[in-house]
Amino acid sequence: MFPQAVADKLTLIIQVIVMFSAKYALWVLTGPLAVTTVFFNIYILLVSLWNYRQKKQWSASETIIAALCVADVAHQLVCYFWMTMDEVDRECLVGQNLYTFLVLLIYSLKFTVMWDTSFLTFYYSIKLVTTPNHCYTQIQASILRHVTLAVFLIPLCGLGTCMPMLIVFHHDNDTTMNRDCGVLIPDTRSGQVYEVVYVLLTDILPGLLMVKCCISISVHLAVHLRHMKASTNGAHAPKLGSQLRVIQMALALVVVFIIFLVVDLYVQYKITVHHENIIVLAFFFTSAYTTATAMVLIYGKKTFWKVLIREFNACMDEYPCLSCLKVPEEKTQHGSTAKVKN
């Protein structure tokens, strides 16, 4: 009997050590992601402001992208701040209210990031795809006229969606293995129902909107390429110019979102059904998602990409030993190519 009790205690100690090591590793790995997320999103904002000063124009897509960048940076800073406090204050000596407020803010900012991304994809699908349905076209035009209002309403909806967590969720700091400060776990029927509703509003619905836009853009691309090939009798490969770059960016945003969605649904399933407190893993993958999204936006917006490559090559010129890392800059092509204002 005594050896069995000792063995159980040793097993528990080993599990605790493994759990703390995993949390520490995720905290360390999230650091570089936090730096890249903040860097790329701040870069996008600064270049957008610089372009506005030069051209005195601010398009609807730039409004959505700016809102997305602000949400990405805010989410990343709050998320990493909570992870750092949780790693340092393992006994949760700081008041639980502060931790709980940070967790709710992270969930709310995640809602904003997801819907801003889907809204951006929706915007590009409207600009690229024309529909003969007059009523649907009027709805799209109405949405585009109120882009600024929409990007302000999305964070408010996210905050309103997350506030019920304070009522239907409960703290789960009872065990040593699952101790995360301020974490709220759905351990009742009402909490589980709300968790399903939150996942539906935050992940599923924006995901469905993005997939719908992805399908529309793909069909538009296939039809457009077929018409262009028919008009030239297959004499040369059809060229879409900057329009193809926007299509690639929109489709890449959807692919990145779907990959993140699969992981996030798995994490939420483990939390809701198995009551496993792996919220740190969710924050890590969300950080990876915001980093990937910012990189896709930089590539998709040609002005962002050209400035980044030029500055990068200029930096490499300062160190001759790193000249092999220089990236070839794209030359401006003259000719009749299809363009879309992105």
Query: Does residue 258 fall inside a structural domain?
Result: yes
Q: Supply angle C-alpha 90, 93, 99, rounded to 5.
A: 80
Query: Does residue 236 fall inside a structural domain?
Result: no
Q: How far is CA 209 from CA 183, 206, 266, in A?
A: 30, 5, 20
Residue 237 has pLDDT above 60, yes or no: no
Residue 159 in 3-state DSSP? helix
Q: What amino acid occupies position 257?
A: F
- For residues 201 and 317, the model is more confident at 201
Cβ-in-10-Å burial (0-12, 13-18, 19+) of 60 comes to: buried
Please count the structural domains in the chain.
1
Q: What percent of the chain has pLDDT over 70?
A: 71
Query: Does residue 102 fall inside a structural domain?
Result: yes
pLDDT-derived band at 135, boundaries 50, 70, 90: low
Residue 20 has pLDDT above 50, yes or no: no
> CA–CA separation, 217 vs 63, rounded Å?
21
Could you report how far apart the first and last alpha carbons of the chain are, in Å?
71
Q: What is the mean pLDDT of residues 216-223?
A: 75
Residue 36: how many other CB atoms lie within 10 Å: 18
Residue 246 has pLDDT above 50, yes or no: yes
DSSP character string of 199-214:
HIIIIIHHHHHHHHHH
Query: Does residue 252 fall inside a structural domain?
Result: yes
- For residues 208 and 90, the model is more confident at 208
Q: What is the mean pLDDT of residues 256-270?
A: 83
Query: Does residue 72 fall inside a structural domain?
Result: yes
pTM score: 0.81
Query: Does residue 341 fall inside a structural domain?
Result: no
Query: Does residue 108 fall inside a structural domain?
Result: yes
Which domain CATH number covers 55? 1.20.1070.10
Per-residue pLDDT tens over the stretch 137-171: 676 677 778 888 889 999 999 999 988 888 887 76
Q: What is the mean pLDDT of residues 5-9?
A: 47
User: Using an 8 Å Cβ cutoff, are 305 and 298 in contact?
Assistant: yes
Per-residue pLDDT tens over the stretch 87-124: 887 777 777 788 888 889 999 999 999 999 988 888 88
170, β-bridge pairs? 185
Per-residue pLDDT tens over the stretch 322-334: 666 666 666 544 4
Query: Does residue 331 fall inside a structural domain?
Result: no
Domain holding 248, by residue range, is 4-229+243-321
> CA–CA separation, 18 vs 176, rounded Å?
12
Cβ-in-10-Å burial (0-12, 13-18, 19+) of 101 comes to: middle
